[in-house]
Amino acid sequence: MLAGTSRETLSAVAVVCLGMATTPEIGSAQSLAPDTIYVNGNVVTVDANFSIKEGFAVKGERFVSVGTNSAMRKLAGPTTRVIDLRHRSVFPGFVDTHPHTINGHAKQDELHEVSLHGVRSIAEIVRRIKAATASMAAGAWVVTTDIGEPPDYFNVPSILAEKRWPTKRDLDLAAPANPVYINCSTKQPYPVILNSAALALLGVTRDTTDDKRVHIEKDATGDPTGVIYGLDMYSYESRLRSQLLSLLPPVPDEVRKEVITAAISDNAAVGVTSLYEAHGLQPVNLRYLTELNSSAALHNRFVLAYEVPVRKSLEEIDAWMAAHKEASGSGTGDDAIRVHGVTVSMDGAIQFGASLMTKPYLDPDGRLGNGSSSVSTEKLTQIAKLALKHDLRLNIQAAGDEAIAMAVEALETVNRETPLRDKHWVVEHVQHPSREHIKILSDLGVFATTYSSVDFSKGADVYVKRFPGQDVWKTVIPLRWWIDGGVTIAQSTDGAHYEPMFTIWESLVRVDGRTGQSMLTPAKTISRKEAIQIYTINGARVMQLDDRIGSIESGKYADFAVLDHDILTCATDEIRNTNVLLTVLGGKPIYDSHTWQ
């Protein structure tokens, strides 16, 4: 239960207790009466008919009836609460199928690093770091957030008064006795910035040469400035990156749990109730969630899939899968936390030049390339066969069109030996599929998770400028193609704009966040009804929980969100500014804005 939220009352909501003259006898109708009835609502059920109802009844964790006001009131017993929704809209709890709530949520870093969010000058960066070091021991690492405005971090360093990146000389003024690490490369292909102490620990001098994708910026005298490009998550083979990671202090378990708790609270406040976490997850993440659940701090449902160590040999991967029987079959756990399946990650983000594409495009340094994949088609095929051997549901992350083609080829090969249609394996990201890819995946019964906000976060700056002479921007995340192709396609946020209202709005307008220009095309155009379905019931199907969540229907868990706008009828731009007033998980409020009147 979130602070300030009562299980017994919802402040500022009209609550009417219907009294009776006598106490009911054991076995009477009262034992079947709902705990709570909600009336006078605009209840968007997202059932098979996408029906709209006036109210619903909840007993324990479940919806027990959905229908008219009069029908709901007739169910009331002597202690049933009747809550007047005052014509507010109600939707099933939203389901994010690629959220990175556990290790990549947009707000988490502020809880355990020096925040540089919102800075507008290098002078301010220096002040914040200097203030942080005042309470730190000499030699302790200073680790900061990215510079700029989360979650997109547009237009850095031009937003700074000095119109440049800070250098080691700036950071040395702030922390002469502490190594400083500013990682600006988590969302954009920006540099890592280190001060002199950090460079010394890393062994970077004027004689250090560039390393794989990594470029060390040097001044006119040949001295490193502290600004290093390409030292990001995709520099798998970089000696410098491996060495840097070995030097940085580990995040304590208690801090990790704190940031996960904060991220879950953020989710609850925007109406997200369920999460499919299948990218970058390891068994330790299950431990964190289990501990949170035991302390009643887990206010989202989780289904997890572990990340396959794809760079290991097939023999090692076989042994790794054998060691994780808890992820096999239908998984283990319950409807709060379940482990179900494994994930192979093939390529990376397009803005880093890491998506494997058929045709070359420009990387952040302006060089033509095609990106890369961590596995070959042949190895992916063998990993998929190992997943079948160990009865593991397989997720495949593939971004570029060539990576998707490789994944499709591997799945087709495996399907010829063992039919996959009823296994409902999953492809993730899939920004650049063709219609033929979608048709094959539909025939194979594969589900897909994707995120339409890429147009906002990357826009023409990536999809037009980086692809000269190509029309890639017209078909990136083609939701229309997916839906028309009969694939269960589910919405996600990839650790960026985690608010469903923002994502639903963006899925309808497909606007470039830098320029405000629409990048909407026929391949991307969907209806509001479809935008809601891919964020609710389709996500539930991906989680394999659609018999329990994803719609407001009798027998399902009472997971729902109350909004202050009807996003089916309001002006499109109002969707983005719609607020969640109440979020309920299993019949219990997990967020209450207290702004009902």
Question: What average pLDDT does the chain have?
Answer: 92
pLDDT category, 23, cuts 50, 70, 90?
Answer: very low
pTM, rounded to two decimals = 0.92
pLDDT exceeds 80 at position 14: no
Q: In whole angstroms, what is the distance from residue 455 CA to residue 440 CA?
A: 25
The single residue listed with the structure tokens 């540099």 is: 191
* Residues in Cβ contact with 409 at an 8 Å cutoff, skipping those fewer than 6 apart: 377, 381
CB 341 within 8 A of CB 394: yes
Determine, yes or no, domain membership for 144. yes
Number of domains in the chain: 1
Tokens representing 170? 């700036």
Residue 186, domain extent: 113-247
For residue 147, what are the contacts with CB-CB under 8 A and spacing of at least 6? 116, 119, 125, 153, 156, 157, 160, 182, 184, 190
Q: How far apart, in whole angstroms, are the C-alpha atoms of residue 472 and residue 267?
A: 32
Taking the C-alpha atoms of residue 315 and residue 92, their distance in angstroms, rounded to an integer, is 44
Q: Is 150 a domain residue?
A: yes
Task: List, for residues 94-119, the tens digit of each pLDDT value.
Answer: 999 999 998 766 556 666 689 999 99
How confident is the model over 31-63, as pLDDT tens digits? 689 999 999 999 999 999 999 999 999 999 999
As a three-state string, the secondary structure of 68-123 is CHHHHHCCCCCCCEEEECCCCEEEECEEECCCCCCCCCCCHHHHCCECCECCCCHH
Q: What is the CATH number of the domain that holds 211?
A: 3.10.310.70
pLDDT per residue over 507-526, tens digit each?
A: 999 999 999 999 999 999 99
Residue 567 within any structural domain of the chain? no
Highest mean pLDDT (candidates 17-21, 286-290, 463-467):
463-467
Banded model confidence at residue 254, pLDDT cuts 50, 70, 90? confident
Please, which pLDDT band fits residue 415 given cuts at 50, 70 and 90? very high
In a domain, 357, yes or no: no
| Residue 122 is assigned to a structural domain of this protein | yes
Spatial neighbors of 511 by CB under 8 A, at least 6 apart, are 455, 456, 517, 518, 519, 520
Mean pLDDT value across residues 543-563:
98
Residue 466 lies in a domain: no
Residue 18 has phi, psi (to 5 degrees) of -90, 115
Q: Please indicate, yes or no, if residue 156 is contained in any of the structural domains.
A: yes
Is 207 part of any domain?
yes
Nearest to 20 by CA among 10, 11, 30, 12: 30
